């Protein structure tokens, strides 16, 4: 390897380490801020189309029925479609665009929290940008990190994206009402996740039928 190439590689690694370390410190700051305001929080990660927005709406309604004040931050590269869906469903919502970035990070969340009145919130959902790669390295400072996949995405999702599943506290397989129509081996997904997570169970849910939603809320509150 030429010296210039070696220097470039070392500099790149050093810069990446600095960015991740700074994100870690800001995530700790965010966690203290949220917890200090009495807020439980979850970072919801998953691909576009996995059903994150619809799932958050359903979970929010269950939490509100239990007497909690719920809010959601809609994270997207651009636009406010998910924010509008939250708002129309009666969920207090805030929009957070990343511009070009493929994920939210602790710095973006820190600034967003500065503009939110946290006093009226008991539980906060943060919907991350839709992919299973970029968010893995950037914790936001939430109590839980939850990754959502769906039966429409195939039975190899855990094997293809191990890092985001390893970094998640809760894993969900959504759209179970469609499983009979899809060529997917759900037991293989369960096996892959148990193997990767050291024995944890992926939670099967259906926004349409309500399957698993109460159990998922209990897990997030536990």
How far is the C-alpha of 182 from the C-alpha of 13, rounded, in Å?
42
Query: What are the domain boundaries of the chain?
Result: 3-221
Q: Cα Rg for the chain, rounded, in angstroms?
A: 18
Per-residue pLDDT of the chain (222 residues; tens, 9 = 90+): 455 554 444 444 565 678 899 999 999 999 999 999 999 999 999 999 999 999 999 999 999 999 999 999 999 999 999 999 999 999 999 999 999 899 999 999 999 999 999 999 999 999 999 999 999 999 999 999 999 999 999 999 999 999 999 999 999 999 999 999 998 999 999 999 999 999 999 999 999 999 999 999 999 998
Q: Report the C-alpha gap between 30 and 118 in whole angstroms.
A: 12
pLDDT at 10: 43
Residue 76 CA to residue 82 CA, distance in Å, equals 8
Q: Are 166 and 45 in contact (CB under 8 A)?
A: no
Residue 21 CA, distance from chain mean position? 20
Beta strands in 23-69 (DSSP E): 40-46
Considering the entire predicted model, what is its pTM? Answer: 0.91
Burial environment of residue 100 by CB neighbours within 10 A (0 to 12, 13 to 18, 19 or more): exposed
Could you please state the CATH topology (level 3) that the domain comprising 3-221 is classified under.
Answer: Rossmann fold (3.40.50)
How many angstroms separate the Cα of 186 from the Cα of each of 48, 161, 175? 20, 16, 12
Give the strands of the sheet with 123-127, arranged side by side: 92-97, 70-76, 123-127, 40-46, 144-150, 170-174, 203-204
Rounded Cα distance, 136 and 151, in Å:
21
Buried b (16+ CB within 10 A) or exposed e, 161-177: beebbebbbbbbbbbbe
Rounded CA separation 213/155 (Å) = 21
> How many whole angstroms separate alpha carbon 53 and alpha carbon 44?
9
């Amino acid at each position: 390897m030429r010296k210039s190439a070696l220097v470039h590689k070392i500099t790149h690694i050093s810069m990446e380490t600095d960015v991740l370390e700074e994100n870690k410190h800001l995530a700790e700051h965010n966690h203290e801020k949220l917890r200090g305001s009495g807020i439980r929080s979850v970072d919801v990660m998953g691909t576009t189309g996995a059903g994150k927005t619809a799932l958050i709406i359903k979970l929010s309604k269950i939490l509100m029925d239990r007497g909690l004040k719920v809010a959601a931050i809609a994270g997207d590269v651009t636009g406010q479609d998910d924010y509008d869906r939250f708002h129309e469903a009666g969920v207090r919502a805030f929009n957070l665009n990343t511009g070009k970035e493929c994920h939210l990070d602790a710095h973006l969340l820190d600034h967003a929290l500065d503009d939110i009145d946290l006093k009226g919130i008991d539980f906060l959902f943060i919907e991350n940008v839709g992919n299973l790669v970029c968010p893995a390295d950037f914790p936001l400072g939430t109590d839980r990190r939850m990754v959502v996949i769906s039966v429409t995405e195939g039975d190899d999702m855990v094997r293809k994206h191990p890092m985001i599943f390893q970094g998640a506290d809760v894993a969900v397989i959504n759209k179970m009402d469609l499983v009979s129509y899809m060529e997917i081996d759900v037991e293989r997904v369960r096996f892959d996740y148990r193997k990767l997570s050291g024995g944890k169970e992926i939670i099967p849910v259906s926004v349409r039928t309500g399957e698993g939603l109460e159990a998922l809320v209990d897990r997030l509150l536990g």
